[in-house]
Amino acid sequence: MGKDSDENDRASHGGVTRRGFIASVGVGAVVAATGVTTAETAEPQVVKPEEMAKITLLINGRKHRMLVEPRWSLLYVLREKLGLTGTKVGCERGECGACTVLVNGVPRYACLTLAIEAEGQEITTLEGLMSGEELGPVQVAFVEHDAFQCGYCTPGQIMAVEGLLRKNPHPSDAEIRLGASGNLCRCGAYLNIFKAADRAAHLKAGKGGKP
């Protein structure tokens, strides 16, 4: 497991490295702008946008080996290729936070993350907060405080709070508001989300009791 072995994996199958992909994007732009083909001389290797790349994603502690187009977002791969539909699609342009996942423990919009960028990173989705069928503490707190209505932004809200609490186990009210401010909720459940975040901090600290 790990980034290096994954990249070797791909290289041995004639795939593209992460660095290679980024270079290819740059070259593509040049080609489009000038009409001059530089692909033959360019190093490292350039792939066509539709060429599939072989990657391994580490999601909720499991490895997933798969072929992806370089342009596919992590959001698309999670939902439509792996069936992890706990991660929701809201805007696909980094505005609403419905697709928030943790990348190496930090909240990140899956719609603005390419699947191949996510290779070698530790990805946690809503499903990854569960222990079997059992809810995690942030999820429990959201239920107790009715911190949602339609529930569609909720996975993203939960991941944002989870990320906040991993970084800051005892956030102040102001820190909670800031931590939740990257996620939109059109039903307007913010006040209950703040309460749930506070409650989740208690639950995570091993303090149960009544909400």
Q: Which residues bind other proteins (CB under 8 A)?
A: 50, 69, 71-72, 76, 79-80, 83-93, 95-96, 98, 125-127, 130, 135, 139, 142-144, 146, 148-155, 158, 173, 177-178, 180-181, 183-194
CA atoms of 12 and 64, how far apart (whole Å): 18
Nearer to other proteins, 9 or 69 (CB): 69
Minimum separation from the CB atom of position 118 to other proteins (A):
17
Q: Indicate the residue among 45 and 149 with the shorter CB distance to other proteins.
A: 149
The first and second tokens of residue 198, run together, are 């506070």
Omega before residue 137 within 30° of 0, cis: no
The pair phi, psi for residue 182, each rounded to 5°, is -90, 5
Q: Which is nearer to other proteins, 21 or 148 (CB)?
A: 148
Nearer to other proteins, 120 or 163 (CB): 163
Residue 151: C-alpha distances to residues 5, 54, 67, 131, 147 (Å): 39, 34, 31, 20, 9
Cis amide prior to 155 (ω within 30 degrees): no
Q: Closest approach of Cβ 144 to other proteins, in Å? A: 7
Cβ–Cβ < 8 Å for 142, 196: yes
In the complex, least distance from residue 91 CB atom to other proteins, rounded to whole angstroms: 4
Q: How far is the CB of 194 from other proteins (least distance, A)?
A: 7
